[in-house]
Structure 1
């Protein structure tokens, strides 16, 4: 592949365009999505085992308190994600995306595997929930560098015309990992007696993190660095005096506007995400009184339907733009959250499924677009850092805490519609944020060269840019 930057002062050549190798692109997308699959395998397992984990590690609490404590431990991992983003993001911008993504894969696997090793509260007392918290903090720290790096990696490897579709595979991996974890837990609950699940069965899904992590590490270590980052490093080496990288505080000050946009979009994306994936299984069983197996199966079916819809929106966003799709989803949350939860609250299995399907459809408007939208907010030399920090700040404050806050709101107010009101608030914030965005579909990333699939396409792009330049010159007043 060839890389370079377009200058307004020289004639354009093919060397001024990045030509992406399709085989490398597919490998990059697969490797990045695999890490997200691994992360969300753990989330699917933990969400579907939340009730059992509460009983194992907090046996003296009431049923509601156990669920809140279990989700509290789940949410605690999100509190350290910004710290992970502040550590891994700058490392990714300085030493490369591929190296950091390989390291985060190792840490995620270790954290998940260790959860399966922790003795119960009955065996070691208060040390059990403390060790669970430590393992979750390790997971949270590592995932602080995972999503921002994976989204950056795919965005920088993709062509401008297909960045939305390629990025949507990252969230396809999210849903696949969640579905894999949820399916495994559901199958075990259906087959194993409750006593066996409480004693040793719940540990098995966490032990699977080790082989999955090793496979993901192998794939990531065989990747090449992204074309955009290589080009950036080449330019930096050409300068006589390399500028020192921005500190985190300088970045927060100089990139405040795009960071706020990132936080608003991620809030919209992740409140919808964690409401559906992390909270809904327990809401169906603990609040609405559905059987545990019925609640799990309903959410799984919706997840399965969401997978192709995510890719569909990713494809459409390359044609009609990111803003219309995200705006449609945000407006849908505002209008349809209450009706959807009324359907879910009916208790009728058909209407429960219909309500979940509405929420799932709206969420795919975000899952299919965000992996391409968020990296485009920032320039190449700070893209990993800024995205990791903005993404994880928003996830920590608003996304990962969604199950905990909504469980607390329902318990405090005795109003089963509180999750719907929470989603309406997220929709309003998201819609306001969308209105501030500049459309980035089919455009180069900030600070990067245009990226195309073939040299023939590069020649056509050069001709198009030259014609545009000539028209601008002709339109200038004499």
Structure 2
């Protein structure tokens, strides 16, 4: 097998002729109860991470008031949000190789502690009125810690989930990682909405904004407990038993890029498409709906919560569908749909609650086929011994440049060009990049993640023929 090539023809060969080499004696497959625990541990940890980010996104008004007062306050608050993403590649470069050497579980325990601790500290910060310039400086420092921990959290959680999931149900089980993402965002919106309802805007500005950040502590404790109760993934245990985990730690960034640049380049294109849409919809949208569309804050929070909750309900079904039809068709449908509908839906958003909710829901549901298949698709683009590092580094570099900065450059684009549809155009551009990347993406349905070579997918056509033969014989 050629491990250097990432073209679509790789998955077209017969699986029996191109099966990946094993790295040791196969561990027995985990039972259903263990898989459910692994899914819960990954999803709740991811929910904690994105609750932290989601709370910041829907609290921009309060953050601006307390840390960046003045005419450019919103842009400064969004810049602070973007800054944490610039730190993420450093986290990926630090945590990724550690995860490939010492295991996914240990690193994920450390990242969730850092994330929850930094978020809690944001809720305890003095404001600019109390300590002056030191307040925003401390906020930026804590956002940097969040970014550094997230650089290892997401790639590790997706890898952990993918390596525990059965090959034929990886799309379904993997979708629960993003179920956790949406749950974190939805919970953040709900908590802030409840605060607005019960203590009012003035109370939230004065002290209520702190409460959602402090809730990161109990969420982090639950996620940490679940993760430390699990064994390491069977796939990593095989690598470790073969003595190749130690060897993978000696591979530097240069060697990783030289050997796996096709996979890294393809993944970067997919991540650009995914995260420009993701951060435009899930983090910038509260600012857009309130500042550009002119909707009241409580209305915006209601739209965010309802739409994110609906997306949560749909995402497992999309993951299960990808196990049947493949990841590539799901991505093509999502990218083409978003490209066509971005401008019309953004045009609807300025026309009141119901049309804004409809527009957000349409874009969110079109985005689901991408979001649901991340854990099934991205980790499978790298072999076991470099999976954590290859995924974490590539994902975080692309996200830091194009994803987490989306709220900032969308707002800056609207201000510079006086065009409220600017975010729609950035989404369309990202979809074009994604369509090119999908062309070179390897289909991963049915592929085993065991082995030190890139896994091959099982041809669905052959599998379908086998089912039809069995059906006729029966």
Q: Same fold (TM over 0.5)?
A: yes
Partner Cα separation in structure 2 for residue 450 and residue 120 of structure 1: 50
The verdict on how the C-alpha distance between 1:8 and 1:312 changes in structure 2, with shifts beyond 3 A counting, is closer
User: CA-to-partner distance for each residue in 1:416-469, whole Å, 9 max, x for gaps?
Assistant: 000000000010000111011121111212627999xxxxxxxxx9xx9xxxxx
- Residue in 1 that maps onto 2:369: 365
**Other-structure match for 1:456:** none
Provide the residue aligned with 1:254 in structure 2: 259
Match of 2:408 among 377, 384, 404: 404
Could you tell me which runs of 5 or more consecutive residues in structure 2 were left unpaired when the two chains were aligned. 1-15, 456-462, 467-474
**d(CA) in 2 for partners of 1:363 and 1:147?**
19
- Unaligned runs of 5+ residues in structure 1 are 1-5, 452-460, 465-478
Deviations 1:51-79 (A, max 9, x none): 111111011x21xx221111110110000
CA contact (8 A) 1:343 1:352 kept: yes
2:234 aligned with 1:227, yes or no?
Answer: yes
| Matched residue SS, 1:447 | coil
Higher Rg of the two aligned structures: 1
CA drift of 1:242 comes to 5.2
Residue 378 of structure 1 contacts residue 446 of structure 1 at CA under 8 Å; is this kept in 2? no
Which sits farther off after the overlay, 372-381 or 261-270? 261-270
Determine which of 45, 59, 71 is the counterpart of 1:49: 59
CA contact (8 A) 1:84 1:144 kept: yes
2:168 aligned partner? 161
CA distance in 1, matches of 2:42, 2:145: 20
**What's the offset of the Cα at 1:243?**
6.9
Q: CA deviation at 1:216?
A: 1.4
The residue that corresponds to 1:467 in the other structure is none
Deviations 1:177-232 (A, max 9, x none): 11111100011011113332112110111111112212211111111000110111
Partners of 1:200 and 1:296 lie apart in 2 by 18
Structure 1 residues 338 and 319 mapped into 2: Cα distance closer, same or farther (>3 Å)?
same
Match of 1:104 in 2: 111
Does the 8 Å CA contact 1:160/1:450 hold for their aligned counterparts? no
**Partner of residue 296 from structure 1, selected from 289, 295, 301:** 301
Local SS of the residue matching 2:266: helix
Is 1:167–1:372's contact at 8 Å kept on the other side of the alignment?
yes
Q: How many residues align?
A: 438
* TM-score, normalisation: structure 2: 0.89
**Superposition pairs of residues 35-434 of structure 1, within 5 angstroms:** 35-59=45-69, 61-62=70-71, 65-236=72-243, 245-345=250-350, 347-434=351-438
Q: CA deviation at 1:244?
A: 5.9
Per the TM alignment, residue 84 of structure 1 is displaced from its structure 2 partner at its CA by 0.3
Distance in 2, matches of 1:216 and 1:103, equals 11
| Distance in structure 1 (CA, Å) of the matches to 2:196 and 2:118 | 24
Determine the C-alpha separation between the residues in 1 that align with 2:212 and 2:95.
27
Kindly indicate whether the alpha-carbon contact (under 8 Å) linking 2:380 and 2:454 is maintained by their aligned counterparts in 1. no
What does the per-residue CA deviation read over 1:304-334, in whole Å, with 9 as the maximum and x for residues that have no partner?
1101221111000000000000111111121
Paired with 1:203 and 1:118, the residues of 2 have a C-alpha distance of 9
* 8 Å CA contact retained: 1:104, 1:143: yes
Separation in structure 2 between the aligned mates of residue 226 and residue 449 of structure 1, nearest angstrom: 18
For 2:269 and 2:296, locate their aligned partners in 1 and report how far apart those are by CA, in whole Å: 36
Q: Residue 442 and residue 57 in structure 1: after superposition, are their counterparts in 2 closer, same or farther (change >3 A)?
A: same
Look up the SS of the partner of 1:200 in the other structure.
helix
**Post-superposition CA distance 1:215-260 (Å, at most 9, x none):** 21111111100011011111226x9x95763112211222111011
Q: Counterparts of 1:411 and 1:360 in 2: how far apart (Å)?
A: 25
Task: Provide TM-score, normalisation by structure 1.
Answer: 0.88
Distance 1:431 1:382, change over 3 A: same
**SS class of match (1:145):** helix
In 1, are the aligned partners of 2:171 and 2:319 still within 8 Å (CA)?
A: yes
Q: Contact 2:68 / 2:74 at 8 angstroms: preserved in 1? A: no
What residue is the counterpart of 2:33 in the other structure?
23
